[in-house]
Amino acid sequence: MLSLPLKFDCLRRRNIVKHLKLVRNKLQNLLRFVKMSSSEPELQHPPPPPFNPTEPSLPISYPIETLKDLESRSYFNSFHYPFNKTSVPLKSVLPNRRRLLVCHDLKGGYLDDKWVQGGTNPEAYGIWHWYLMDVFVYFSHTLVTLPPPCWTNTAHRHGVKVLGTFITEWDEGRVACNELLSTKESAHMYAERLAELAVALGFDGWLINMEVKLDPGQIRNMKEFVDHLTQTMHSAVPGSLVIWYDSVTIHGDLHWQDQLNDKNKPFFDICDGIFVNYTWKENYPRDSAAVAGDRNFDVYMGVDVFGRNTFGGGKWNTNDALDVIKKGETSAAIFAPAWNYETHQLPNFQTSQNHWWSLVEKSWGIVQNYPKDLPFYTNFDQGHGHHFSVDGAEISNDPWNNLSCQGFQPLLEFVDNPTLDSIQALVDFNEASYSGGGNITFRGTLEDNAFFTRRLFHGELLLGDLPVNFTYSVKSEGDSQLGLSLQFSSTMNKSMSMLLASQEIYQFSSKFSQVITTRPHGKPGNSPGWVIQEASIAMNGYKLTEIHAVCYRSKPEFNKPGPAHNPVKYFAVLGHITIKNSEKKSGFPPSSSWLVEAQFIKWTSVSQGSKTLSVKLKWKLKDGTDTVFPNYNIYAKKLAKQVVSDQDVSLEDVPKYLGTAHVEAFYVSDLSVPCETSSLKFIVQVCAADGTCQKLDDSPTFSIDVKGQ
């Protein structure tokens, strides 16, 4: 039984609740009445204007939706076209071995990756296990899918070919095929338009996916289309690829065969390969290899990672299908590897992605090796992050994504359920970066006299007469130290190992053929905590085959009290690695050598005298020489004129970083300009292939007076 005060308290609460319910019901009824009696329509925001590709705006990648637009070549009149050109070339022929093709498929495509100059999503989808694949296809369900340049740039950097997609589906696809295949001349014309796009944008060919039923009379011109596209691509881009998808048959039926056979082989015979549908049976890879003859590796057996009727069930069992394909002596085509991103696999995308691809590696093996050429530079950037650095100094703490910024990715082995008494190595986006937005962080425990190694790269770099310089940046805590282990092989099958370390390491130097003590390159004044280590080696006739990180401790104290082999906290960050010939000096043209121009200048008044500015900047060398620089960092400096001295003074301590360009143009969109600003100075910081960047004071610039000032 309740006491009297508690009883009244409960009654009071019940009355309050009852009263609130009555008020809520009256408000709901009133709202219904207002909605029913009001003749005014609900307030709606006007729809955005339709996309006009000729109007200046933030550069994006987008597909071509109609044959009319393809035929008219209107894409080349787009404001966005120059920004979509690939900046990283690729000249290679597919090796005669089993290969791995990876077909992108993520919610229709053109998401965070459509922003050519980068977006603001630090969790944007990306791929970084390029060393496991040979071909990458960018896929969407639009007629002509043009790969965003960020995918082509980073894939080419890692030696991977990139294909766009030409697809016809449903009723509109049938209408398109009627036009495409109406005559031999139309089939040739559209094939030439596709080849022209691939050449102009810098990607390597096409996946042809005809997902519609055709009339038997159209097959002849379909073969003309595929054959002419293949020949035109080969002529324009040596090593290019045209791959047929297993859909419509030689009789015009939309009937997926799930293997190479006489119903789809006529298409296979006139192009570079076939992407076989993914609902095949266990014996189909071997049967397809028999039909293909000496072209068995041009047969790519499909595997749907979502597991839609695919052999093995896809998902975490995708490697089961790869094992069967490998035994069947054909190649493989993985479809929709973003499965773990879309389905939010635990514990997080980074871990699940590394885990999933480790299963692919276990089944299929490594197919790409680097470094292969000099200079070799990597900052371990995955193309997204929470900050951005240049030469050890953070220049932005804004979240960002831009796959074009992705550096060579390390071949870090995945460790499932790491123990507390070991060292964990991972690409980190939260710790400070020396360059870009990533690094490799080594964190854990390490005994005084022990060392820990972790694989970074498998190489194919043949060394010549000239010495080779190795430079790398390290930030560490306490006595944690980080070096590099290099593995070499010679033509006489002689192997040797070399350790690059910052001091003599007597306790385990016998584990290596040679130990070279690095010399500090001097701490950059604007990059506190980073130590730059440098060493020069001469290994003429040897091939660099592996690079490992080596974790160790400096000055071990052998007589330190306490239990023996006491593990101690270890922490170090590897910021970058540069390998280049010792005689190769980084040189930048002086700022006076550049012509910087501004186009499409647009001022917009905001409030109280402040404005925004949108403008396209473009630059080139005055002598007309083709530039060989991979990227440019763009900054803006806001200046105000002093009344007394009539001189411009900066309104900010440092120039504002706007983004990174991978072509000789950058679009500045809605830059905020305070009312006291008299002029703007844009700085184009030139960056070289070895990772060095021109000093801002020596970089080309362009100034704009503020309108109305």
Q: Is the pLDDT higher at 35 or at 665?
A: 665
Secondary structure, 3-state, 410-464: CCCCCCCCCCCCCEEEEEECCCCCCCECCEEEEEEEECCCCCEEEEEEEEEEECC
Percentage of the chain modeled with pLDDT above 70: 89
Over residues 273-296, the pLDDT tens digits come to 999 999 999 999 999 999 999 999
Task: Please count the CA atoms within 13 angstroms of the CA of 256 that sit on its side-chain side.
Answer: 14
Check residue 413 and give its pLDDT: 95
Q: What is the mean pLDDT of residues 565-594?
A: 88
- What CATH homologous superfamily does 376-555+566-581 map to? Galactose-binding domain-like (2.60.120.260)
- What CATH homologous superfamily does 591-705 map to? Immunoglobulins (2.60.40.10)
pLDDT band at 4 (very low <50, low <70, confident <90, very high): very low
Q: Is the pLDDT higher at 17 or at 385?
A: 385
pLDDT band at 48 (very low <50, low <70, confident <90, very high): confident
Query: Poorest-confidence range of 94-98, 126-130, 561-565?
Result: 561-565
Check residue 524 and give its pLDDT: 52
pLDDT over 70 at 558, yes or no: no
Please report, in angstroms and rounded to a whole number, the separation of the first and last CA atoms in the chain.
81
Residue ranges, CATH 2.60.120.260, the chain:
376-555+566-581
Check residue 309 and give its pLDDT: 96
pLDDT band at 76 (very low <50, low <70, confident <90, very high): very high
pLDDT band at 581 (very low <50, low <70, confident <90, very high): very high
pLDDT over 80 at 377, yes or no: yes
CATH number of 67-87+134-364: 3.20.20.80
pLDDT band at 474 (very low <50, low <70, confident <90, very high): very high
Helix 349-364 vs helix 318-327: crossing angle, to nearest 10: 20
Check residue 14 and give its pLDDT: 39
pTM over 0.85: yes
Q: What is the DSSP string of 266-307?
A: HHHTTSSEEEE-S---TTHHHHHHHHHGGGGGGEEEEEETT-
pLDDT over 80 at 566, yes or no: no
Distance CA 295, CA 274 (A): 11
Q: To the nearest whole number, what is the mean pLDDT of the chain?
A: 90
pLDDT over 70 at 247, yes or no: yes
Q: What is the mean pLDDT of residues 130-136?
A: 98
Over residues 312-351, the pLDDT tens digits come to 999 999 999 999 999 999 999 999 999 999 999 999 999 9
Q: Is the pLDDT higher at 599 or at 520?
A: 599
pLDDT over 80 at 555, yes or no: no
Secondary structure, 3-state, 465-492: CCCEEEEEEEEECCCEEEEEEEEEEECC
pLDDT band at 645 (very low <50, low <70, confident <90, very high): low
Q: Is the pLDDT higher at 397 or at 628?
A: 397
Give rounded-to-5 percent helix, strand, coil for the chain: 25, 30, 45
Residue ranges, CATH 2.60.40.10, the chain:
591-705
- Say if CB 639 and CB 614 are below 8 A apart: no
